[in-house]
């Protein structure tokens, strides 16, 4: 049963609505509509640029398009460093699927404990976290196959170094951002890195690209770099250096090989070394490029330079007699000794026997300024002009401050300091018929122009003395090489400790060239603190010189200039 409502009898319903109320409602609706329309116009027309920017901030991204880093090649085109694809793994923590079994598999592939992986993912506020940078491509494929929600990959590159520790100090390495940190990688960063490109895209909150916007800027790959290094010479030099350091229980060692015609660096090796792409637990001892960064008092390897000065100045001839008796000489309160009393020697004999007394008496025939000028012309006390980081200047004090005893000790390599590289470079003046030539780490086909320091006659006279010093009866007969004539000078310098010299710590040197009449290579070897009984340069460093010279000349295709016959060395002349 239904009842009808008596509308006419209800006071509330029967009352008339005021006209102003209906108008007010209509006006309010109209005003609201106008306000919304005005707001729409403001947003879409007046403030359009602002809101577009805000939208882009939240959803638009500029994606870098990485450039492929240039390769580093040796002089024959063999790869010393190259880039390979190496994806990096990242995550949005709040979106990651927390399946225990899947996370265990992921942690195993990332080579990290499960607890560490969970720690990286535990911050729910994070929208981005790196899990592992630069994994191998097969590993990245296995991670993708797991299909874990919230785990993503980014395309990156990492460097590979086929020559490993043998060429580490030359090539150097890059960091995880592919930026050069050491060696050639650092020096030629701009050339190798190229220029990254970019593209603008719209992404959703999950990081997925929804739409590409704007113009894409393609990357410009880095250019390849060809070094003067010969990877075969480099490997052999490193191998022989390492063997010598271990055999002599030494602290460290270095070797430099120069092409004496072009000035190109064919090898530069140090031991201890490191593997450039596996640098965990790396120490400073391994990183140091000792051939360029460490300076030493070079000892007797400076005597040929002293003799060259005197010959050039006309103060002596190769046959001038020098009285070295009784094997010692006192000056300025100091006594300078030879290892033996050699009596009267010719100037050639001073080099052959490595007489300290003979060298200082020859130096006394010259003024300090004459000696300083020649040292400076040979690059001592100056930073080497080579495309490489960390090359040191060494020490050569102004000649006006020299005391007589300091001039005397400089004649045989004490009182000044130089790097192994500077020593090798200075010997180009003898190998290149009196001209010191610029050195380079890059392959060069251009003819080289040197700066004359000695006359051709002086350079050849010194080379003859170096040949005598490396022959039986000299201080370096172990430098002899089958099939090739060699010349060189050994050196043994006490290490400076504080203001004095250690009695049982030495650096052993040998610097020389071959073939002696028309030198093609200069090899300089240093062994630091040999402690297995032998410490003289002629016994410790000369054998490394011999092996490196022979192998290098064979690799270069240089024809032997001597008949191959057995050579027996019965003893090594000892001298500091």
* Nearest by Cα to 276 from 439, 159, 390: 159
* Nearest by Cα to 252 from 277, 269, 235: 269
Q: Helices 114-121 & 100-109, crossing angle to 10 degrees?
A: 110
| Cα distance between residue 258 and residue 347, in whole Å | 28
| Cα distance between residue 187 and residue 546, in whole Å | 32
- Which of these is catalytic: 231, 300, 354, 429? 300
| Cα distance between residue 291 and residue 509, in whole Å | 12
Beta bridge partners of 270: 254
For residue 486, CA distances in Å to 291, 304, 514, 541 come to 22, 15, 5, 14
Which structure tokens are listed for 46? 């007046």
* Nearest by Cα to 169 from 259, 237, 221, 246: 237
Tokens 């172990």 sit on residue: 478
**Rg for the chain, CA atoms, rounded:** 37
Look up 300 and say whether it is catalytic: yes
How many CB atoms sit inside 10 A of residue 77's CB?
11
Mapping DSSP to helix (H, G, I), strand (E, B) and coil, where does residue 196 land? coil
* Nearest by Cα to 107 from 123, 141, 131: 131
- C-beta of residue 511 within 8 angstroms of C-beta of residue 320: no
- DSSP characters over 296-332: B--GGGGHHHHHHHHHHHTS--TT-EEE-TTSEEEET
Q: Give the H or E element holding residue 114.
A: helix 114-121
- DSSP characters over 344-362: EEEHHHHHHHT-HHHHHHH
Cite the active site residues: 300
């Amino acid at each position: 049963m239904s009842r009808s409502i008596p509308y006419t009898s209800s006071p509330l319903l029967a009352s008339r609505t005021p006209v102003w109320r209906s108008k007010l409602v209509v006006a309010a609706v109209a005003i609201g509509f106008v306000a919304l329309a005005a707001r729409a116009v403001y947003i879409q027309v007046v403030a359009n640029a602002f809101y577009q920017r805000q939208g882009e901030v939240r959803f638009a991204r500029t994606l870098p398009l990485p450039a492929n880093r240039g390769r580093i090649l040796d002089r024959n085109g063999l790869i010393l460093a190259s880039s390979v694809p190496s994806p990096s793994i990242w995550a949005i923590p709040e979106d990651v699927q927390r399946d225990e079994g899947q996370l265990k598999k992921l942690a195993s592939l990332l080579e990290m404990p499960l607890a560490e992986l969970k720690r990286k993912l535990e911050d729910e506020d994070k929208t981005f976290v790196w899990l592992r940078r630069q994994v191998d491509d097969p590993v990245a494929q296995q991670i993708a196959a797991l299909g874990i929600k919230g785990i993503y990959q980014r395309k990156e590159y990492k460097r590979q170094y086929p020559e490993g520790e043998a060429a580490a100090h030359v090539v150097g390495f890059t960091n995880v951002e592919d930026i050069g940190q050491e060696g050639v990688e650092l020096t030629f960063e701009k050339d190798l890195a190229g220029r990254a490109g970019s593209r603008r895209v719209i992404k959703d909150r999950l990081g997925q690209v929804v739409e590409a916007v704007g113009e894409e800027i393609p990357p410009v790959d880095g250019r390849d770099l060809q070094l003067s290094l010969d990877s075969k010479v480099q490997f052999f030099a490193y191998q022989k250096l390492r063997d010598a350091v271990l055999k002599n229980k030494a602290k460290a060692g270095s070797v430099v090989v120069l092409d004496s015609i072009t000035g190109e660096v064919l090898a530069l090796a140090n031991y201890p070394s490191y593997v450039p792409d596996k640098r965990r637990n790396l120490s400073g001892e391994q990183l140091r490029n000792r051939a360029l960064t460490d300076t030493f008092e070079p000892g007797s390897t400076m005597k040929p330079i002293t003799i060259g000065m005197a010959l050039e100045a006309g103060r002596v001839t190769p046959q001038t007699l020098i009285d070295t008796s009784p094997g010692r000489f006192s000056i300025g309160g100091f006594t300078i000794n030879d290892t033996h009393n050699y009596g009267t020697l010719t100037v050639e004999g001073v080099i052959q026997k490595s007489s300290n007394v003979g060298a200082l008496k020859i130096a006394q025939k010259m003024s300090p300024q004459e000696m300083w000028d020649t040292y400076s012309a040979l690059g001592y006390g100056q930073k080497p002009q080579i495309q490489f980081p960390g090359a040191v200047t060494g020490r050569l004090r102004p000649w006006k401050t020299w005391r007589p005893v300091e001039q005397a000790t400089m004649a045989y390599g004490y009182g000044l300091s130089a790097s192994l590289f500077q020593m090798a470079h200075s010997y180009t003046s003898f190998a290149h018929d009196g001209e010191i030539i610029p050195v380079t780490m890059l392959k060069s086909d251009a003819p080289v122009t040197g700066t004359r320091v000695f006359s051709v006659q002086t350079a050849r006279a010194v080379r003859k003395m170096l040949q005598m010093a490396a022959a039986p009866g000299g201080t370096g007969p172990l430098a002899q090489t089958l099939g090739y004539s060699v010349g060189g000078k050994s050196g043994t310098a006490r290490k400076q400790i504080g203001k004095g010299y250690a009695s049982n710590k030495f650096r052993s040197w040998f610097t020389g060239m071959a073939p002696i009449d028309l030198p093609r290579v200069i090899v300089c070897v240093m062994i630091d603190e040999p402690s297995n009984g032998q410490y003289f340069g002629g016994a410790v460093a000369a054998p490394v010189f011999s092996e490196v010279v022979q192998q290098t000349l064979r690799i270069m295709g240089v024809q032997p200039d001597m008949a191959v016959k057995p050579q027996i060395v019965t003893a090594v002349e000892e001298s500091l």
